[in-house]
Chain A
Amino acid sequence: MFLKITLILFLIYIFFQLLYIFVPLFSIKDKKKREEVEKEKGISILVPAYNEEKVILNCLQGIVNINYKNYEAIFINDGSSDETLDLLKHHLQLEPTFRKLAAVKIPHEAIIDIYESKLFPKIFVIDKKNGGKADALNAGIEYARKELVITLDADSILEPHSLQVMNTEFEDKQVLAAGGMVQIGQGFKGNFLLPEPTFITSGIIRFQIVQYLTAFYLHKFTQMKAKSITVIAGAFGAFRKDILFEIDGFRKTVGEDMDITLRIQRLIKMKYRDCKLIFVPEAICYTECPATYRDLFNQRIRWQKAFMDCVVTYKSSFFTKLGFRLSIFFLIEAFLLGTLCAFPIVFIPIMLLMNSDHYMIVLGFLTATFVLGIYQSYTTMIVSNRLGLNYNKPDYLKIAIFIPIEVLTYRLLGLAFVISGTTMYFINKDKWNVATRVGTNNQTYNEGTFVLTEKAG
């Protein structure tokens, strides 16, 4: 009976993996020049910041280099205890501003002050009492004046054309929300305006580069095809502001990004049946990924806790208020295969030690998983190439060698993350591990960019 169940689960696993490999492979065409809409819709960029002194200026650099006119950027200092606010004040030459206070539609912690930059009139800073990321975003959307809202993590840097791309996607009235492509900043070098991908970096970063590309280009893309996106990454998401108000903003939880995505999906299913939530591979932001095992562990524990929180919160909504396919992706693929199965998998070596009769069976499962993993990662690189992420030849060689090793080594870390995260969710639901930011940036700013420090000085 045990083997039968395992086999059925494994067949389901293979089915999803095949979707992730062949749907993007056959539907992502080579990159061609995008026709961008000329008329710019107003976009408010919201950047919640809690103790982000090491990275906030990088984020700011990205914003001031945006190739878009009709935008405003609002940094929300969520009661930072470090120099975040002072840095912003200094570099932006902030001045308190009178800004019409919207009626409080979504409750949030008290606002201390609102500033406007003398240097960049489109940039504002809200200084508020600490209330968490969701709370900061809620304050942000109340003060946002534009039609579209983009949420951006303070450790993320917008690619200059990203707003144009988003603007074009939102021409389609049925698009309620869109997720951007999150690239790993450490995987690029050279001029920020013309970044060059590189694979010369540490193993833990390489692992995350391949993983992010796979998660976005293969998984999120396939999920979009199935109308089943379960999370718009908090690092870079775009929303229609009225929709955010309609669902009462962000909920205070470990994973407010997955939470808001599921609530929008519920709204689509219940009310706006023709509308959709999309993933836009061409809208790019660069984020700094954890460079140490400790930070990576903390981040993934947070993600897993966030996921578990959504499983519990939305348990009664699946299939009824959330679409069938989305429920299948969420409950079967992510929860059953991705979370529950991690627990028995770690016992396999122990079981083999006790009874070696089935070693051929275990070897069979391993071989199939290995081949699927390799094919998926290679597909990732093929699809990435088509989308314009072109490494040089030596890097491709490194990638080709790295992938089989990664499947057998780094990927196993995922089991540890899932198991620890799930366990810790039930032990300590609300503890929120804040990642430490390193603030390294491999990219430089040369021509056509603002050198903030000099201007501010």
Chain B
Amino acid sequence: MKRYIFNITFLISFLVIFSIIVRIYYGDFEEALATELDFFPPDESLPLSECKDWGGGVRDFHIEPGHGAKEVSVLMYHRVIDEDDLGENHFNDNDELHSTIILKNTFEEQMALLHEHNYTTLTAKELLLFLKKEIEVPKNSVVLTFDDGFKDNYVEVYPILKNHDFHALNFIITAAITKRDPKYVANAYQYLSTSDIQNSCDVFDFQSHTYNFHKRAFSYSPYLIVKPEEEILEDIRNSITNLGGRNRAFAYPYGAYDEKAVSILKELDFEMAFTVIPELAKPGIHVYEIPRIEVFETDTLKDFKRKINLIE
């Protein structure tokens, strides 16, 4: 009996100590496992060779001097999910839809509104020239941007944009792109596959959102702020390699940037970079700090109209 009690105590002490260890290290292992899985190789190129070169000809909008837009709205989206597909991963702890998600219906309405008002979706190049005051663009102009490159961008967004003959910038975390092309599961954290990219590059201009630096350090500061310059340079360079040398535009993860980040982008010959400062983009601003206005599911139609600078 004494031995039995001793054995049980010994067992329990072991379980307690071991579960403490598991608790201590669980987060580190979880994070390391999540980031390690299936990286797109840093030295390979995505199948973009047959895609449209978005830097080519700039459209002539035939605008008389002084009649173009004074400022342009750059809209930012992340994920677009069909209401029927909503799952637990789409909600936060307070049972609210994640702010980065917008329902497909809402998105369709917004695009229809843009179409209705004859909006022109500008390319990155056109926006840049507009900001540099080299061209004029129509009054109803907008730039659509999507961050992170989730798979729903292909499944839900692509057909809608294609339907309206719109196009958009898509800032992808290139390491997250998968070579396999799994079935779309809305509730999972799926990123675009190589074939999704290949099939949607007539609508999306894929640009860099880092290779794998869309992360926060232990201090919660974004990698782009706290990591040494060489590492950031290396990471973004990998994303350029993945993108087959495309380095026109960059979007700062979490919108976080500093002078160092800007100088790195300049060194890598990026032409412009996007923040998340919710303002309209006006000619003459710093092209490495282009503001973007995020669109939320909770926005009313009125909110959205304001965001796209629609004056009726």
- Inter-chain contacts of B3 with A (CB < 8 A): 29-30, 386
- Point out the residue from A4, A26, A360, A363 that lies within 8 Å of B33, measured CB to CB: A4
Chain B residue at smallest Cβ distance from A367: B21
Q: How far is the CB of A214 from chain B (nearest CB, A)?
A: 16
Decide yes or no: A367 and B32 within 8 Å by CB, A4-B37, A375-B14 being known contacts. no
- Inter-chain contacts of B6 with A (CB < 8 A): 382
In this assembly, does B11 line the interface, its C-beta being within 8 Å of a C-beta of chain A?
yes
Q: Please tell me if the beta carbons of A3 and B18 are within 8 angstroms of each other in the complex.
A: no
- Point out the residue from B18, B36, B37, B38 that lies within 8 Å of A368, measured CB to CB: B18
- Inter-chain contacts of B14 with A (CB < 8 A): 21, 375
In this assembly, does A12 line the interface, its C-beta being within 8 Å of a C-beta of chain B?
no
Q: How far is the CB of A351 from chain B (nearest CB, A)?
A: 13
- Point out the residue from B7, B11, B28 that lies within 8 Å of A364, measured CB to CB: B28
Q: Please tell me if the beta carbons of A1 and B36 are within 8 angstroms of each other in the complex.
A: yes
Identify which of residues 1-18 in chain B touch chain A, using a CB-to-CB cut-off of 8 Å: 3, 6-7, 10-11, 14, 17-18
In this assembly, does B25 line the interface, its C-beta being within 8 Å of a C-beta of chain A?
yes
Of A30, A367, A379, A386, most buried by chain B (CB within 10 Å of CB) is A367
Chain B residue at smallest Cβ distance from A386: B3
The secondary-structure label for the interface of chain B is: helix
In this assembly, does A456 line the interface, its C-beta being within 8 Å of a C-beta of chain B?
no
Q: How many residues of B contact A (CB 8 A)?
A: 18
- CA–CA, A358 to B28, complex, Å? 8
Q: Please tell me if the beta carbons of A371 and B18 are within 8 angstroms of each other in the complex.
A: yes
Q: Please tell me if the beta carbons of B37 and A1 are within 8 angstroms of each other in the complex.
A: yes
Per-residue B-contact encoding for A2-36, CB less than 8 Å = 1, 0 else: 11100100000000000001100110011000000
Q: Please tell me if the beta carbons of B36 and A4 are within 8 angstroms of each other in the complex.
A: yes
Identify which of residues 213-240 in chain A touch chain B, using a CB-to-CB cut-off of 8 Å: none
- CA–CA, A367 to B18, complex, Å? 9
- Point out the residue from A360, A375, A379, A386 that lies within 8 Å of B25, measured CB to CB: A360
Decide yes or no: A367 and B25 within 8 Å by CB, A22-B11, A30-B3 being known contacts. yes
- CA–CA, A3 to B36, complex, Å? 7
Q: How far is the CB of B157 from chain A (nearest CB, A)?
A: 31
In this assembly, does A340 line the interface, its C-beta being within 8 Å of a C-beta of chain B?
no
In this assembly, does A361 line the interface, its C-beta being within 8 Å of a C-beta of chain B?
yes
In this assembly, does B189 line the interface, its C-beta being within 8 Å of a C-beta of chain A?
no
Q: How far is the CB of B25 from chain A (nearest CB, A)?
A: 4
In this assembly, does B61 line the interface, its C-beta being within 8 Å of a C-beta of chain A?
no
- Inter-chain contacts of B37 with A (CB < 8 A): 1, 4
In this assembly, does B29 line the interface, its C-beta being within 8 Å of a C-beta of chain A?
yes
Q: Please tell me if the beta carbons of B21 and A25 are within 8 angstroms of each other in the complex.
A: no
Q: Please tell me if the beta carbons of A360 and B7 are within 8 angstroms of each other in the complex.
A: no
Decide yes or no: A3 and B32 within 8 Å by CB, A29-B3, A363-B25, A371-B18 being known contacts. yes
- Inter-chain contacts of B29 with A (CB < 8 A): 3, 7, 361, 364
- CA–CA, A382 to B13, complex, Å? 15
Decide yes or no: A361 and B32 within 8 Å by CB, A1-B37, A22-B11, A375-B14 being known contacts. yes
Q: Please tell me if the beta carbons of A358 and B21 are within 8 angstroms of each other in the complex.
A: no
Per-residue A-contact encoding for B24-41, CB less than 8 Å = 1, 0 else: 110011001100111000
Q: Please tell me if the beta carbons of A371 and B17 are within 8 angstroms of each other in the complex.
A: yes
Q: Please tell me if the beta carbons of B33 and A7 are within 8 angstroms of each other in the complex.
A: yes
- CA–CA, A360 to B31, complex, Å? 11
Of A360, A379, A386, most buried by chain B (CB within 10 Å of CB) is A360
- CA–CA, A19 to B4, complex, Å? 18
- Inter-chain contacts of A358 with B (CB < 8 A): 32
Chain A residue at smallest Cβ distance from B39: A1
Q: Interface on A for B, CB 8 Å cutoff? A: 1-4, 7, 21-22, 25-26, 29-30, 358, 360-361, 363-364, 367-368, 371, 375, 379, 382, 386
Could you list 9 examples of A-B contacts with CB < 8 Å?
A: A2-B36, A3-B29, A3-B33, A7-B29, A30-B3, A358-B32, A360-B32, A364-B24, A375-B14
List 18 additional A-B contacts (Cβ < 8 Å) besides A3-B32, A22-B11. Answer: A1-B37, A3-B33, A4-B33, A7-B29, A21-B14, A25-B11, A360-B32, A361-B28, A361-B29, A361-B32, A363-B25, A364-B21, A367-B24, A368-B21, A371-B18, A371-B21, A375-B14, A382-B6
